[in-house]
Amino acid sequence: MVKFTVVGGDASSNLAKRIASKLKAPYIKTGKKVFPDGESKITINQIPKKSIVIVVQSTYPPVDTNLLELLSIVSKIQKFSSKIYAVIPYMGYARQDREFLGGEIVTIGVVGKLLKATGVKKVLTVDIHSKLALKELKIPSDNVSAMESLVRHVKKIKMKDPLVVSPDLGGQERAEKFASLLKTEFITLEKHRDRKTGKVNILSEKVDVRNRDLILVDDIISTGGSIIKATQFLKKQKCGRIFVACTHALLVNDAAKKIKNVGVSEIISTNTIPGESAKVDVSKVISDALR
Ligand code: R5P
């Protein structure tokens, strides 16, 4: 009898195949057709054998479409298995984990309700934005870290006197872990984001980074605003080269180009979101957590 069956959603099919191969589990692919009005038609042509069914689908943009596709797959699978785990490598809405301004809806809580209602018994994600987001899901859930895998990749780059930098206080713990794995030091910048406009500013005044190669570490790069402002600030302090490592490279619109234009040498991210910078594979860390 097989223990697991892996079903890959359209947003994460390559990663899902890798997870299935690591778990030595059968892999079921899904089909997708998008109608002119934007609706998706999802198909699953194979019925999973009696097993724990792992549905893999990240919810990067188009966030709501990818989320609805995940929910649709789960609601179909639920007819054949009572044990469904949702692996959501990049969890959209995790940054909406609290009411920052009056009247805001904590949408990650709604995502949790939807997952539960369609039949998900457990959620596994990678480097979720905050512990609070995981708690707000209100469904059994686990979070695994891609930091060790990212560090393994970064170690291959020949850097001069490397220093890890967190662009903000929220990322300090992550940067500390990254630096300790890289056997080097870290610093944290002070960042301010205007909650209404989304604009970012670096409030730090002076840091000692002269001639050192830097590695900016973050969980998510979305518009690139945080990395761009941090890079501009660090360049003024006469640092060496700047590399960027993150788990989830959303890189919306032309964020990657803008980041390169301010002088970042390389962006390194994971395959929670496919793309040019996704050089680090998280299938092992995910499958190890599922076993
Ligand atoms: C913020 O707290 C996160 O850790 C990231 O720094 C942020 O989401 C990045 O967004 P952007 O690229 O739009 O500045």
> pLDDT by residue (tens digit) across 107-125?
999 999 999 999 999 999 9
In this predicted structure, the answer to whether residue 273 has a pLDDT above a threshold of 80 is: yes
Measured in Å, residue 168 CA sits from the centre of ligand 1 at 9
Say what the pLDDT of residue 8 is.
98
Say what the pLDDT of residue 1 is.
77
Angular region, 260: left φ>0, alpha ψ -120 to 50, beta rest = alpha
Ligand 1 contact via 200 beta carbon (within 6 Å) = yes
Instruction: Taking residues 181-192, report their average pLDDT.
Output: 97
In this predicted structure, the answer to whether residue 289 has a pLDDT above a threshold of 90 is: yes
In this predicted structure, the answer to whether residue 207 has a pLDDT above a threshold of 90 is: yes
* Ligand 1 pocket test target in 220, 227, 251, 267 with most atoms within 8 Å of CB: 220
Measured in Å, residue 48 CA sits from the centre of ligand 1 at 38
In this predicted structure, the answer to whether residue 38 has a pLDDT above a threshold of 90 is: yes
**Catalytic annotation on 191?**
yes
Active-site residue (options: 22, 76, 191, 229): 191
- CA separation for the pair 91, 198 (Å, rounded): 20
**Measuring from atom 9 of ligand 1, which residue has the nearest CA?**
221
The one-letter code for the residue type at 257 is: K
- CA separation for the pair 212, 159 (Å, rounded): 8
Please choose, from the candidates 175, 164, 152, the residue with its C-alpha nearest in 3D space to the C-alpha of residue 284: 152
* Ligand 1 pocket test target in 219, 231, 250, 269 with most atoms within 8 Å of CB: 219
In this predicted structure, the answer to whether residue 94 has a pLDDT above a threshold of 90 is: yes
**Measuring from atom 3 of ligand 1, which residue has the nearest CA?**
220
Instruction: Enter the pTM of the model.
Output: 0.96
Instruction: Provide, rounded to the nearest whole percent, the portion of the chain with pLDDT above 70.
Output: 100
> What burial class does residue 275 get, using C-beta atoms within 10 Å of its C-beta: 0-12 exposed, 13-18 middle, 19+ buried?
middle
